[in-house]
Structures are given as C-alpha cells and as structure tokens.
Amino acid sequence: MRKKVTKAIFPVAGLGTRFLPATKSVPKEIMTLVDRPLVQYAIDEARAAGIKEFIFVTSRGKSALEDYFDHSPMLEHQLKKKGKTALLEELRATNMDSGEIAYVRQHQALGLGHAVWCARRLIANEPFAVILPDDVIAAETPCLKQMIEAYEETGGNMVAAMEVPPEKASAYGVLDVAEDMGQVVRARGMVEKPEPGTAPSNLAVIGRYILGPSVLRNLNRMRTGAGGEIQLTDAIAEDLANDVPVYGYRFRGQRFDCGSKAGFLQATVAFALARDDLREELSRYLAEVVQIDKAA
C-alpha cells in the first residue's frame, strides 16, 4: 500500500520583482486575486487534496505571509459583535492551527530545487507535494486532488503537465514522452528550458508535483543546471536513471501564470466573472470597454 501524500511544500522565497513596486513591502503571494491572496488558493487546493502539513520555504521580508495565517482575535471579535457571521466564517477559514504549518528560510536564491531541498528535514522518508502559488488553476476538481488520485494508481513521481505552443516551450521544463496513455504520460526524460526548437515535446511542466524522497537525495548533490540554478526538474529526471518512473498528468482545468502581470490580470477577470456577486457588473463594464475600443 502506498504512503498517503499528506505534506506539501510551498516555495515562496522569491522577491516578486516583476510586481515592483508593490512587492517592495507586500509579499507577492498575498497579493489578492479578487479578494483572496494567491497563497490562499494554493492552500485551499492542498486541503481539498488531503494535505495536512504545510511547509513554506520563505525568505527575509515575508513576515506578512506568516501573519496572514495567524488568528486575529480582535478582528474576529468585531465581526462577531456586528453579526457578520458569513464574513467571520470566511476569515476563520484562513487560520492555520498550531503545528499545521511550518516555515523554513531559504537564505540564497539558488533555484526551485534548492528551495525544495531546504525543507528536506520536515519531509523525512515520505512522498510529498510541491505547489507553486504563482500557478493558479481553476478546476472543478482541484488539480492536486486529480493528481493524487492518479498517483495512487501509478506511484513514482508525478508532475502536472499542459500543452504549450512550440515557441513557448523554452520557458518551461518539458517532458520527453515515452508513452502517452491519455490523461497520464510516462516520461523517458525531462529538459529544463530547452533551447528554442530543441524541445522533445510540447508538454510543459507547471507548478504541481508529487515526489518521492529520492528526489531530495538527488538534490543533496547540489548540481546546477539551466540558469546556473539547482533545478527541481533535473533532480526528478535523475530518478529515471534509477528506474523510478516519472509521469506527467494532463490536468483538467485552466492554468493562470500569476507570476506575470498579464496572467495575474487574466486570472482576476476570470475569477471575478465566476462570482455570482460580481459577474453582472463586471460583464457590463467589459462590454462597454470593448465597444469603446472598437469605436476608437
């Protein structure tokens, strides 16, 4: 019987330079998509998938992120006093109980692989998930839950994958596909940010992973890859040489790259239009903008 995946690593140490000056004082992960921080979407997805322990790899200047998950007795008291029950329940859903969440510092920006490696002592010898909050996925069944259900059948390592235009493949880790089984593909290799025109497929890895502890052992070697960084993709690919299978999972849903300004704006519009309380007014406004643009 496979060990259940109950731990997840959230690498959130990045400086968010693409969102300066906002990220000068506000961690990118708590910038709001409509009325919820990016990181809350990631937490909700992890909880829906059965994750019980949440490990954040942070850096200096991220104290606001830690405060976000703490209880706020004064605010809760005021909401209760004013009878704002629905808002109070929504607020309490953001709280994390003591022992449920842990924080590890990444002192140097050495890449995603290094960030995951920083959490190694909290993982021990268990499978674990990695969630990048920048990748927000709108899905009827949360992406990580889809993956865990598939992982229970396959074992090995699993990465979320989506098809991208060939000209954009060089911005991603890309799967070299050995066998395509539809929803799941078996990889013979992985290439991080291949040179234009050299990608082995158009199936790109995005920010959801289910990994075995052997990946952490591979990261112990501290080998640098693309961009001079320690790449998680390389450590996963190394498992293939040791006969540990690697699978790509074509998730059902729409991914938004909220690490970019355009992706963040697209996600804001999409998530707002999905809200009953915002759809009508926003749709009317967008229609007016389109008409103005056509007339210009």
What pLDDT is stored for residue 263 in this prediction? 95
Mean pLDDT value across the chain: 89
Interatomic CA distance for residues 251 and 226, integer angstroms: 26
253: left (phi over 0), alpha (psi -120 to 50) or beta: left
Please state the pTM of the whole predicted model.
Answer: 0.90
Q: What is the pLDDT of residue 257?
A: 94
Encode pLDDT of 43-81 as tens digits: 999 999 999 999 999 988 788 888 888 888 888 888 888
Report the distance separating Cα 213 and Cα 6, nearest Å: 13
pLDDT reported for residue 67: 85
**Using an 8 Å Cβ cutoff, are 112 and 185 in contact?**
no
Per the CATH hierarchy, to which homologous superfamily does domain 7-259 belong? Spore Coat Polysaccharide Biosynthesis Protein SpsA; Chain A (3.90.550.10)
Taking alpha carbons only, the member of 245, 111, 141 closest to residue 184 is 245
pLDDT at position 241? 83
Q: How far apart are the first and last CA of the chain?
A: 64
Instruction: Say how far residue 16 (Cα) sits from the centre of its chain.
Output: 15
Q: Could you tell me which residue, 33 or 25, shows the higher pLDDT?
A: 33
> Which residue has 């007339």 as its token pair?
295
Spell out the domain ranges in the chain.
7-259
Does residue 227 register a pLDDT over 80? no
